[in-house]
Amino acid sequence: MRSDIIKRGFERAPHRSLLRATGSIESEADWDKPFIAIANSYTDCIPGHAHLNEVGQLVKRLVREAGGVPFIFNTIGVDDGVAMGHSGMLYSLPSRELIADCVESMLRAHCFDGMVCIPNCDKIIPGMLMAAMRVNIPTVFVSGGPMAAGIADQKATHDDLAAHLQPATAKSDLISVFKGVGEFKTGQITAEQLARLEQTACPTCGSCSGMFTANSMNCLCEALGMALPGNGSILAVSKEREALYERAARVILDLVRRDLKPRDIATLEAFDNALMLDVAMGGSTNTVLHTLAIAREAGIPYDIARIDGISRRIPCLCKVSPSSNYHLQDVHRAGGIHTILGELKRMGVLNLDCLTVTGRTLGQNIDDWDIRSEVCTPWAKAVRVSGASALALDPNDKLGAVARTASGSLAPKPLFHFPADPRALTLWRFAAAFNAGDAAAAASLFAADGQLQVTEGLTWVGPGAIEIGLKAKLDEFKGRVRAELASLKGAPVLLVSHYEAGEKKASCLLRTGRLRNWTIGKAWHDYGAGALAETRPLGLMPHDPVFMFDPRDCIRTTETAYSADGGLAVLYGQLAPEGSVVKTAGISDAFRANCGPGFVFEGPCVIFESQDEACAGILDGKVKGGDVVVIRNEGPRGGPGMQEMLSPTSYIVGMGLGDKVALITDGRFSGGTAGACIGHVSPEAAEGGPIGLLKPGDRIRIDFPNRRIDSLLSDAELAERNRTWQPVRRDLAGWLARYRKLVTNASQGGILSA
């Protein structure tokens, strides 16, 4: 083992003495076990990471139970949302390099045999991946999971439920709040409405709920083979996430035993798989920047032209906020990342033989976890149908009260913070399957001798009979039901209500026996009105068929794809000789219509020399419909640090200009950016790129189908301007000054030169 360097031989007695002092060596037998690093990114500063202290301790316990000796260390983390709109954003991208160096330093100094990485938000994931590729010891990634979507509006449709259990009629997320700033500025919403958004848009811990950079990278880890199925889509507040941590602990010991390392997994073909998923799901443009950097550390020759080729031939199958009203919890309900990969498999484009941390190939993982696959496991269907987001209380009421926000009871506490009875999850899955009209998934949860009683004298025994009986009940209710976990005289039951036109028409209690992992008592109950009154609702299923959810719209097929090419595109041209990136999935139909049939946008440029200047100018009304907003001197070197442009892009949308203007920048965008926003323009202004030669009023032409971005200036005019051009220099000290000297441009991944 690699750890023998620090623990074997008489000359290592001092080393062993120090290791004993850590408390991590619990017996002499531990010297014969693999030393496993747990690279955690816990910090109170980031909501996606605030829960990772508990997660780290859980993973530590699980690694020890699996046969390893765990050691936790932590990395830094910058919250892009909190750092947005001020000088703190200058440190966001540079933090990636610090994280990579930190993890590398710990692994090499302490000679670990394997590593579990617990990241969540966007710079931390690629930073850890870069280090994993450098050091190349067995590694598995298991993130903290995405945040649940917020509740923008509730409608009291169920008189028998408490206010916090009423269904959401509209969802929200962090982008809703950024847009809300612009909407408030233009008088579209009141201060009270903005406050409501602020208080409810981010209801739980976890990475922000849309297809922003953090979630995009966590999803890409599944396709790259470095993370387990479900890593990108199982909510942080789901009990199911605990099962993922447990599996990751077992996997890392298996990887060490087999000596299966990151560079064995992250091959050229695996990176192709990851980028195919990226463009199919319309991920963040930042994934291009990060993937190029990770590939370089893996020794893989990857460039932006290869990404361009992939984006031209892979259709856009999925749109998630801000590109649609779907969120990661919906993607999970629809089948998760491996169902998107399943659609790509059916196209015949994936490299299916690539190894993954499961020890199986990507193709084998897809077979198991793509719920549209004929050979997927019944458990996969049951997991997916639950949505992994139940606002549930344990049947034994161990979880305590639902957490309170400033505006009321809207947010659940993370389930894994409490020792919830794992049997509750099984019953919740059953409720979810019934709610979703999936009799097969519900029946799969029953043991071979399972039974279900709906009324006195009507009992179905065995999964086959149960499925037939459930389907009959679902047909009777026309699939429009609400299934809730409830308590009756201290025993858990399912309260099922049938609705038509939003009104309750009938209710019944389902009492089960011999459900997997849970045998429920034999007491049955009359279903009269009095019985219902005696029940106590413990939670509401996250998805409500009253509002209907079509998983084949959330994750589309190649026949129903949003577009024949991908949700990300690389644009070249006079203004971007080395490339630029746009999230085409985030461009609205209204903007396309304004462009005309050729999908070409042309207009005069309004130039801002920094993001701060752009934010002030946009809110002051300096941008009009038909303009091309140019934000420059925000590239890797010019910023330095390549600031994200979520604030200005959200203000544009919030002020009603999202369908009427385009934006180009040598900076980058948050995954939360929507609209015709082209970033990563290379070369950047600070290194003499053409974007730095533009003057206010110059006309810019963006040809989306032909993937070009040009000014209408002649080459001679640009050459003349370049003769007198001078770079904008900002006084810097400390880390940013060193970073500026070493960083390369965006088309190379914004990495540091040697």
- Which residues form the catalytic set? 670
DSSP state of 520: P
- State both tokens at 696: 């206010």
Of 126, 159, 155, 157, which Cα lies nearest the Cα of 143? 126
- Alpha-carbon separation of residue 615 from 578, 610, 623 (angstroms): 27, 9, 11
* φ, ψ for residue 212, nearest 5 deg: -85, -175
- State both tokens at 579: 């490339």
Instruction: List b or e across 390-403, with b for residues whose CB sees 16 or more CB atoms inside 10 angstroms.
Output: bbbbbbeeebeebb
* φ, ψ for residue 341, nearest 5 deg: -60, -35
Contact between 6 and 12 under an 8 Å Cβ cutoff? The reply is yes
- Alpha-carbon separation of residue 293 from 58, 128, 158, 286, 508 (angstroms): 31, 11, 51, 11, 56
Contact between 85 and 647 under an 8 Å Cβ cutoff? The reply is yes
Residue 104's CB: how many other CB atoms inside 10 A? 18
The full DSSP string for 445-496 is: TEEEEEEEEEETTEEEESHHHHHHHHHHHHHHHTT-EEEEEEEETTEEEEEE
The full DSSP string for 103-128 is: HHHHHHHHT-SEEEEE--STTHHHHH
Contact between 665 and 632 under an 8 Å Cβ cutoff? The reply is yes
Look at the chain and count its residues. 754
Residue 268's CB: how many other CB atoms inside 10 A? 15
Look up tokens 């309170």; give the residue.
404
Contact between 624 and 557 under an 8 Å Cβ cutoff? The reply is no
Of 748, 590, 746, which Cα lies nearest the Cα of 679? 746
Report d(CA 290, CA 96) in Å as an integer: 9
Question: What does the H/E/C string look like for 614-678?
Answer: HHHHHHCCCCCCCCEEEECCCCCCCCCCCCECHHHHHHHHHCCCCCCCEEEECCECCCCCCCCEE
- Quick one: how far is CA 309 from the chain centroid? 25
Please tell me the chain's helix, strand, coil percentages from 3-state DSSP, rounded to the nearest 5: 40, 20, 40
The full DSSP string for 130-157 is: HHHHHH---EEE----BPPPEEEEE---
Report d(CA 278, CA 220) in Å as an integer: 7
Contact between 434 and 481 under an 8 Å Cβ cutoff? The reply is yes
Contact between 485 and 414 under an 8 Å Cβ cutoff? The reply is no
Contact between 36 and 63 under an 8 Å Cβ cutoff? The reply is yes
Which DSSP helix (H) or strand (E) runs through 509? Answer: strand 503-515
